[in-house]
Amino acid sequence: MEKINGTGVSPGIAIGKAFVIKKAEVAVSGILLKGENEVIANVAAFNNAIEVAVNELEVIKLSLAGTDFEILETQIELISDPQIAEDVIEKIQSERKTANDAVIEVIANVVEVFESMDDEYMRARTADIKDIGSRILKHLNNTKTNTARFKPDSIIIADDLSPSDTITMDIKHVNGFATRTGSKTSHAAIIAKAKGIPAVVGCGDSLSTIQNDDVIILDGTSGLLYIDPAEETINEFRLKSEIQKQQSEKLKALKNRPAITTDGKKVMLSANISGAADMDDVHENGGEGIGLFRTELLFMDRTSFPTEDEQFKFYKQAALQSKGKPVIVRTIDIGGDKQLPYFNIPAELNPFLGYRAIRICLDQTDLFITQLKAILRAGVFGDLLIMFPMISNIQEVRAAKNILEKAKEELLAENIPFKANMKVGIMIEIPSAAVTADILAKEVDFFSIGTNDLCQYTLAVDRMNEKITHLYDPFNPGVLRLINNILEQGRKHHIHVGMCGEMAGDPLAALLLLGMGLEEFSMSASSIPTIKNTIINHSEADAKQVYRAVMTMDSSDEITAYLKAQFV
Comparing CB distances to another protein, the nearer of 114 and 368 is: 114
Q: What are phi and psi of 98, to 5 degrees?
A: -70, 160
Q: Which range binds another protein by CB under 8 A, 205-213, 275-283, 340-348, 530-538?
A: 340-348
How far is C-alpha 187 from the chain's CA centre? Answer: 11
Q: Which residue stretch of 121-129, 134-142, 234-242, 314-322 sits at the interface with another protein (rule: CB under 8 A)?
A: 121-129
**Interacting residue with another protein among 102, 110, 199, 512 (CB under 8 A):** 110
The piece of 57-65, 70-78, 200-208, 349-357 that touches another protein (CB under 8 A) is: 70-78
Query: Which residue in the set 253, 277, 300, 468 belongs to the binding site for another protein (CB under 8 A)?
Result: 300
Selected binder of another protein within 37, 67, 256, 344 (CB under 8 A): 344
What sign for the dihedral angle of Cα 356, 362, 363, 367? positive
DSSP state of 476: S
Exposure of 80 in the CB half-sphere (CA atoms within 13 A): 14
Number of residues that bind another protein (CB under 8 A): 30
Selecting among 139, 187, 455, 538, the annotated active-site residue is 187
The residue among 359, 344, 343 whose CA lies nearest residue 392 is 359
Query: Is residue 102 at the binding interface for another protein, with CB under 8 A as the rule?
Result: no
- Stretch near another protein under the rule CB under 8 A, chosen from 16-24, 263-271, 333-341, 519-527: 333-341
Q: Is 187 a catalytic residue?
A: yes
Length of the chain: 568
Query: Among 55, 60, 84, which Cα is nearest to 72's?
Result: 60
- The reply on whether position 114 binds another protein by CB under 8 A is yes
- With binding defined as CB under 8 A, does residue 301 bind another protein? yes
Alpha helix locations (H) across 254-393? 279-284, 296-299, 308-321, 358-363, 365-378
Taking each helix axis from N to C end, the angle separating 477-492 and 451-459, rounded to the nearest 10 degrees, works out to 130
Which residue among 67, 83, 142, 421 contacts another protein (CB under 8 A)? 83
Question: Which residue from 135, 166, 150 is spatially nearest to 212, judged by alpha carbons?
Answer: 150
**Secondary element (H or E) of residue 272:** strand 268-273
Q: How far apart are CA 399 and CA 31, in angstroms?
A: 68
State in angstroms the smallest separation of the CB of 470 from another protein: 28
Q: Is 392 a residue that touches another protein (CB under 8 A)?
A: no
Q: Write a three-state SS string for 404-443.
A: HHHHHHHHHHHCCCCCCCCCEEEEECCHHHHHCHHHHHHH
- 339 touching another protein, by CB under 8 A: yes
Residues 128-167 that bind another protein (CB under 8 A): 128-129
310 lines the binding site for another protein (CB under 8 A) = no
Residue 279: which residues within 8 A CB-CB, separation 6 or more?
A: 273, 318, 321, 322
Nearer to another protein, 30 or 346 (CB): 346
- The one segment of 108-116, 279-287, 319-327, 521-529 that binds another protein by CB under 8 A: 108-116
CA angle, 185 then 188 then 194, to 5°: 85
* Beta-strand pair 2-5/290-293: unpaired
Under the binding rule (CB under 8 A), the answer on residue 567 touching another protein is no
Q: Which residues, listed in sequence order, are joined to residue 118 by a DSSP beta bridge? A: none
Q: Judge contact between 263 and 535, C-beta under 8 A.
A: no
- Per CB under 8 A, does 343 bind another protein? yes
Catalytic-residue membership of 173: no
Q: Which of 32, 44, 59, 117 binds another protein (CB under 8 A)?
A: 117
Q: Which is nearer to another protein, 352 or 381 (CB)?
A: 352
Contact between 303 and another protein by CB under 8 A: the answer reads: yes
Question: Does residue 115 touch another protein according to CB under 8 A?
Answer: no
Q: Looking at the annotation, which residues are catalytic?
A: 187, 500
In the complex, the residues that contact another protein under the rule CB under 8 A are 70-71, 73-74, 77-78, 81-84, 110, 113-114, 117-119, 121-122, 125, 128-129, 300-301, 303, 339-344
